[in-house]
């Protein structure tokens, strides 16, 4: 029997499965993440940690958990976890890989369509009395057939977005780690980011990258806010360096109420809901449970996090 600390109540039957396997599970209650103190107290006697992307798992936290044998993140991203610190301490880390590809790609298309056809503005105008008549020149959006979609990242989610965009008649290209990002950005009408956040990708979309884009380009971000230099994005939207942005993720999350991102023009923001379908969230829980159950039984995790760069 192992002790497992779960950092938030989860949908699906992950907790039930952990308990059925004979483990003692403690769940942090409430809708907000545990504070740092609560997280440290939560892992103090834990053998396993089921963390969320809102929980910082670093060397200090791992050192306050002398029994810890496994960390399973309820996310495909793992930028909240210091993978090198975990590796140094021999603690395996698992992620919810594979299971949220479709949901995230669907949300990317929802953002793409909403931004391309001005849905937020149209909705506001319809409700707020600005819809006076059918307007031949009103609410003109972007045609998708023939539009050039650049996908940053060559992973599963980017490919799933490409699979969805192709039937719309979009011209799709990919840019990866070793390609000329700025040259690719200069050609694109729509840019969608699907690379993980790490030391190489932090602020990859900075002022220079934004300046390389077309003045009417749409930037979509469903990965992590930190891949984009948000101050530079706000400036670019005000200056018309790019046309619009659609963000599922911001930096920080959520932005404070007075954050200038909220007043940037043509910027659609939703609250990090890429994986937010009941089916996907249940699958993510199962993935985390599978990783914990395997590691606590001394077996390899089915979906481990990528190895840290120095490993």
Q: Give yes or no for a cis peptide into 100 (omega within 30° of 0).
A: no
Least distance between ligand GLV and beta carbon 267 (Å): 19
Q: How far is CA 53 from CA 81, 134, 272, in A?
A: 8, 45, 11
Q: Which of 274, 285, 288, 290 binds ligand GLV (CB under 6 A)?
A: 274
Least distance between ligand GLV and beta carbon 185 (Å): 23
Q: What is the CA radius of gyration of the chain?
A: 21
Is 237 a binder of ligand GLV (CB under 6 A)? no
The alpha carbon dihedral of 148, 151, 154, 160 has a sign of negative
- Residue in the block written with tokens 């953002």: 111
Q: How far is CA 18 from CA 6, 13, 59, 290, in A?
A: 11, 9, 26, 9
Cβ proximity to ligand GLV: between 77 and 226 the closer is: 77
Cβ-count burial 88-100 (b if 16+ within 10 Å, e if not): eeebbbbbbbebb
Segment near ligand GLV (CB under 6 A), from 29-37, 70-78, 159-167, 252-260? 70-78
Known catalytic residue at 253:
yes
| Closest to 168 in 3D by CA, of 203, 116, 231, 95 | 116
The CA distance from 82 to 75, in Å, is 14
In the region spanning residues 84 to 103, those forming contacts with ligand GLV, defined by CB under 6 A, are 96, 100
Q: Which of 77, 94, 225, 243 binds ligand GLV (CB under 6 A)?
A: 77
The CA distance from 194 to 224, in Å, is 9
Is 107 a binder of ligand GLV (CB under 6 A)? no
Is 75 a binder of ligand GLV (CB under 6 A)? yes
Q: Which of 192, 198, 221, 275 binds ligand GLV (CB under 6 A)?
A: 275
Q: Which contiguous run of DSSP H or E holds residue 73?
A: strand 70-73
The answer to whether 100 and 288 are in contact (CB under 8 A) is no
Least distance between ligand GLV and beta carbon 42 (Å): 21
Cβ proximity to ligand GLV: between 92 and 225 the closer is: 225
Least distance between ligand GLV and beta carbon 288 (Å): 11
Known catalytic residue at 89:
no
The answer to whether 234 and 262 are in contact (CB under 8 A) is no
In the region spanning residues 49 to 68, those forming contacts with ligand GLV, defined by CB under 6 A, are 53
Cβ proximity to ligand GLV: between 266 and 275 the closer is: 275
* Token reading at 122: 């149209």
Cβ proximity to ligand GLV: between 75 and 115 the closer is: 75
Cβ proximity to ligand GLV: between 34 and 274 the closer is: 274
| Residues binding ligand GLV (CB under 6 A) | 53, 75-77, 96, 100, 274-275
Residues assigned a catalytic role? 224, 253, 272
């Amino acid at each position: 029997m192992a002790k497992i600390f779960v950092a938030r109540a989860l949908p699906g039957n992950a907790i039930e499965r952990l308990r059925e396997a004979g483990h003692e599970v403690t769940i942090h209650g409430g809708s907000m993440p545990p504070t740092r103190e609560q997280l440290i107290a939560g892992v103090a006697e834990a053998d396993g940690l089921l963390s969320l992307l809102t929980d910082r798992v670093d060397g200090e936290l791992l050192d306050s958990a002398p029994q810890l044998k496994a960390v399973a993140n309820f996310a495909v991203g793992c930028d909240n976890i210091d993978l090198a610190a975990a590796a140094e301490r021999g603690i395996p880390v698992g992620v919810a890989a594979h299971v949220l590809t479709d949901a995230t790609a669907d949300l990317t298309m929802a953002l793409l369509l909403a931004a391309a056809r001005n849905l937020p503005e149209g909705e506001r105008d319809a409700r707020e009395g600005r819809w006076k008549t059918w307007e031949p020149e009103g609410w003109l959006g972007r045609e998708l057939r023939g539009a050039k979609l650049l996908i940053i990242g060559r992973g599963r989610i980017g490919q799933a977005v490409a699979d969805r965009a192709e039937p719309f008649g979009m011209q799709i290209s990919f840019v990866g780690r070793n390609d000329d990002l700025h040259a690719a950005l200069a050609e694109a009408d729509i840019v969608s980011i699907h690379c993980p956040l790490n030391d190489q990708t932090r602020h990859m979309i900075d002022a220079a990258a934004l300046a390389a884009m077309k003045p009417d380009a749409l930037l979509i971000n469903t990965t992590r806010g930190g891949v984009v230099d948000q101050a530079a994005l706000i400036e670019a939207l005000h200056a018309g360096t790019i046309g619009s942005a659609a963000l599922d993720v911001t930096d920080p999350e959520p932005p404070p109420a007075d954050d200038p991102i909220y007043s940037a023009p043509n910027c659609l923001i939703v609250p990090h809901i890429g994986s937010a379908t009941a089916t996907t969230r249940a699958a993510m829980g199962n993935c985390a449970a599978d990783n914990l159950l395997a590691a606590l039984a001394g077996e390899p995790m089915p979906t481990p996090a990528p190895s840290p760069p120095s490993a």
